[in-house]
Structure 1
Amino acid sequence: MFSYCNDPSILEGFNWLSCYLTTPKHMNFYFSFGTVLLLLAITAPTALLFGFGGAMAARAHNTALSWFGKAYIAVVRGVPDIAFFLFFVIALDQGIEWLMHHAVCSDWDEPIRRGNDFVVCPQAKVPLSSASQWAHKSYGFALAVVTFAIVFGAFAANILFGAMRAVPRAQIETAEAYGMTHRQAFWRVLVPQMWVFALPGLSNLWMVLIKATPLLFLLGIEDIVYWAREMGGAKTAKFTGYPHSDWRMWYFLTLLGFYLAFTRISEIALDQLMKRLAHGQATAAGEAQRRANT
């Protein structure tokens, strides 16, 4: 990046450090922080959508739909996250390629399963072998988002299901007595009030989601953990350009600072949101606000 970085072997002190911290690999390291934030920005609302759908299904009057919602909550929550991440990503990837294979290669007469190998026709590979590196990375990221959303959606569904049940039934009955349909009472009375009951649990889930982002490393995505380990390891050969001892501790301390700062910012934002949702509500938080204002 700097003109004096052409020959790292003659650099010392600040000049060496400034060149070292602006190498292409470090730029990938800095960019990986954006990858983590993008994952959170997409996964959080998607998981909330999965959770809301699961909670609605669990409380449905239809028996089959109710069992489906409750099974989704129980099964996904009961499987260790790491096992689900390692299994589901492979299963989802192979499922997509299996569907593509039967759609575009109907004349294929060889078995797809060959022992431990899963072989589809070249046209069914997702993405195609000729696709750009960006397409491969985007596809892997999309699989990660779906997996995160399904896992944390199950936890969100359990929280929202409990929050829906926490809203006094008498309020729903009063709304229906005033002429609202069951659907109107659900959207106009139940849903607006359930968030104040759900937010404490959703806040904890958000913190867990933040701490779970290093699982991207297990999914083959070059996230901040990958680059911290890659660049922090000892570099002794001269051809590396910037040889150094084992600095992984410093890189992981950087990650520690990032996660602590991000969780603290999240706590402040969630506290403000809780105050806003609790305003005027017949809850302990709402009563505390009322007393503080009198």
Structure 2
Amino acid sequence: MFSFCADPSILERLPWLACYLTTGVHMSFYGSFIKVLLLLAVTAPVALGFGFAGAMAARASFFFVRWIGKAYIALVRGVPDIAFFLFFVIALDQAIEFTRHKVLCPDWELPVRQGNDFVVCQAAKMPLGNASQWVHESYGFSLAVVTFAIVFGAFAANVLFGAMRAVPHAQLETAEAYGMSRRQTFWRVMVPQMWVYALPGLSNLWMVLIKATPLLFLLGVEDIVYWARELGGTKTSRFTDYPHGDWRMWYFFVLLIFYLCFTRVSEIVLDRLMKRLTRGQATTGGEAQRKAA
């Protein structure tokens, strides 16, 4: 980064630290913070979509659809997150490669399962072996987004299902008395009303999602936890020119500050959103606002 960084062995304390913190691998470390924020920005709406679909399915009048919705909520919520992440990513990756293998390599005669190995033709690899690095990273990130969305979508579905049931039934009956159809009652009365009941649970789920982002490390994505362990450790090949002691505590301390600041900002935003949603509502929060006014 700097012109005086050509020979780190002759640098003094502050110039050495300046060169150390501006190396290419440190830029990857700084970029991993953006990767975590991008994961949250993409996963949250996708998980909310899964949750809304699961809640609607759990309320469906058809038994089979209702069974699918309740089974999705129960199965995903009943499995530890780490176990589901490790299982689902491997299963989804192998399912994609197996499908491509059947389509692209119909003349393949060897079995796909060879002992403990899963072997497909080179054309079926995802991503391809000669693909660029960004393709490999994007593929791993996409698998992580899908996995996070499915897991937290099940929790969101449970929250939204309870919020739908919390909407006063008298409001639904009034809508039907005015001639609204069942679909109109759902979209015009229940859905707008349910968010005030769902937001406390969704707020807690958002906080849990933030704290679960270090699981990216287990999915093979080079996230902030990966780089903190890699850059802070003494036994690493990342810094042959910048040897140092065990600095992992300081790197993880940076992560601690990052997550505390991010959760604090989230609390402020969610609190303002809650006040906005409860304004004029027949809830405890709405009554408190009326009295304050």
TM-score grouping bracket, smaller chain normalisation: over 0.9
Check conservation: 2:230, 2:236, Cα contact below 8 A. Answer: no
Q: Distance in 1 between matches of 2:161 and 2:237?
A: 57
- How far does residue 13 in structure 1 lie from its aligned partner after superposition? 2.0
Q: Distance in 2 between matches of 1:45 and 1:62?
A: 27
Distance 1:101 1:236, change over 3 A: closer
Q: Deviations over 1:132-155 (max 9, x none)?
A: 111011000000000000000000
Distance 1:196 1:133, change over 3 A: same
**Unpaired runs of 5+ in structure 2?**
none
> Tell me, what secondary structure is at the counterpart of 1:44?
helix
Which residue identity lines up with residue 245 of structure 1 in the other structure? Answer: G
TM-score in terms of structure 2 length: 0.98
Which residue identity lines up with residue 41 of structure 2 in the other structure? Answer: A
- How far does residue 170 in structure 1 lie from its aligned partner after superposition? 1.2
Q: Distance in 1 between matches of 2:243 and 2:108?
A: 52
Distance 1:107 1:85, change over 3 A: same
Check conservation: 2:59, 2:161, Cα contact below 8 A. Answer: yes
Residue of structure 2 equivalent to 1:182: 182
Residue of structure 2 equivalent to 1:164: 164
Which residue identity lines up with residue 134 of structure 1 in the other structure? Answer: W
Check conservation: 1:235, 1:245, Cα contact below 8 A. Answer: no
TM-score in terms of structure 1 length: 0.98
Distance 1:125 1:249, change over 3 A: same
> Tell me, what secondary structure is at the counterpart of 1:240?
coil
Identity %: 75
Residue of structure 1 equivalent to 2:276: 276
- How far does residue 235 in structure 1 lie from its aligned partner after superposition? 5.9
Check conservation: 2:231, 2:238, Cα contact below 8 A. Answer: no
Residue of structure 2 equivalent to 1:149: 149
Which residue identity lines up with residue 279 of structure 1 in the other structure? Answer: R
**Unpaired runs of 5+ in structure 1?**
none
Q: How many residues align?
A: 293
Divergent runs of 4+, >2 A: 235-239
What are the within-5 Å matches in structure 2 for residues 130-145 of structure 1?
130-145=130-145
Residue of structure 2 equivalent to 1:29: 29
Check conservation: 1:237, 1:243, Cα contact below 8 A. Answer: no
Residue of structure 1 equivalent to 2:173: 173
Q: Distance in 2 between matches of 1:146 and 1:236?
A: 31
Q: Deviations over 1:25-58 (max 9, x none)?
A: 1101000000100000000000000000000000
Distance 1:182 1:249, change over 3 A: same
Q: Distance in 2 between matches of 1:191 and 1:59?
A: 13
Which residue identity lines up with residue 60 of structure 1 in the other structure? Answer: A
